[in-house]
Structure formats: C-alpha cells, structure tokens
Amino acid sequence: MDRPGLTPERLTRAGAELADEVGFDQVTVSALARRFDVKVPSLYSHLKNSQDLRIRIALFALNELADRVADAVAGRAGRDALAAFADAYRDYAREHPGRYAAARLRLDPETAAASPGVRHAQMARAILRGYGLDEPDATHAVRMLGSVFHGYVSLELAGGFEHSAPNALESWEWIVDSLDAVLRNRSTR
C-alpha cells in the first residue's frame, strides 16, 4: 500500500492548480482527496479544515504574485515601473484565475499582517517614490492603484469586456496612461 506522501505544501500547490482549473470556490477537500486518490479524512492530518486549505492557497498565491511583480518592476522607475507592475498583476490573474481569486480571500487581521500582502503594499509605495508624492497623497495613490488593478482584472475575468470593442488590452493601456498622468499631476515636485 503505497503512501501518497501528503504534505501541507503539496496539498496547497495541488489546491492552487485545482483552483485554476475549476475555480477557487470549487476547491474542496473532497476534490483534493480525489486528485491524490486518497480518502477525504486522510487530508485532515495535514489540514485543519476546509478554510485552512483556502487560506494556505491564498497565501501561496499572494507570495507567487508578489514574486512576479517584484521581478517585473526590478530596475524600472516612473511610468515604466507602473506599467510593469500593472502588467504583472494582470498577466498573473489571466494565467491563474483561480489563484488570483484565492489571493482576494479575506484574511483575518493577524494573518493578513503576517502575509505577503504587505509586500504588495511596499512595492506599490516603491513605485510611487518615482512620482514624488507626500503623505497622505502616497497612501491615497496606493489605494487608487490597488483599486484600479483589482477592479479591472476582476471585471475582465468576469467576462465584462468580452463582447464589446475596443479590446481589453487597449483599455488597460489607456487606463495605465491615465494613472501615470494623475500621479505626475499630483506630484509636489
């Protein structure tokens, strides 16, 4: 009787893949057990419960996304950095819609504070340094960028831009341009 070698890490990764295939809300302990060809209760030695699984997937996705964004913006500044950040964000969501949905899971404050989510905020601030914004403008700007990126990607993934011209990429570039213009205008320099 071969043991499948379940670990929280393998389960999390498989859960992330499952999310991309069938949607994050279809990620279930049962489906994961089927994927490993084990019985459902076997997973409960490695996972606290169903919500624990979802949180692990969310943290996994946040980390992966933060890595991508960090990589994309490295060595860039100003408009370049903004566009790289934006594209990294959108591309990740398009490649991994289930993981992206997972990354939006509401985390309790302690978990969130210790999560890779803080890396995201730091990177957004780093990009804004190029625009010379003082507080509280910098915070407002971080929130605006987060809102636009998340909002656009959500609407695009939901199919909101599928059946009308112009295509989603054109609007995305127009919007990134607009954000760049706003930030330059807000600059105190």
Task: Please report how the helices 29-36 and 8-22 are oriented relative to each other, as an axis angle in degrees rounded to 10.
Answer: 110
The answer to whether 59 and 115 are in contact (CB under 8 A) is yes
Which CB sits closer to DNA, 58 or 123? 58
Q: Is 188 in the site for its own copies (CB under 8 A)?
A: no
**Which residue matches tokens 């990009």?**
127
Residue 147 interaction partner, one of its own copies, DNA, none, beta carbon < 5-8 Å per kind: its own copies
Residue 158 CB, nearest distance to DNA (Å)?
21
Peptide bond into 136 cis (omega under 30): yes
- Residue 79 tokens, joined: 């408009």
Q: Is 108 in the site for DNA (CB under 7 A)?
A: no
DSSP 17: H
Residue 75 interaction partner, one of its own copies, DNA, none, beta carbon < 5-8 Å per kind: none
Q: Is 13 in the site for DNA (CB under 7 A)?
A: no
Q: Which stretch binds DNA (CB under 7 A): 14-22, 47-55, 79-87, 117-125?
A: 47-55
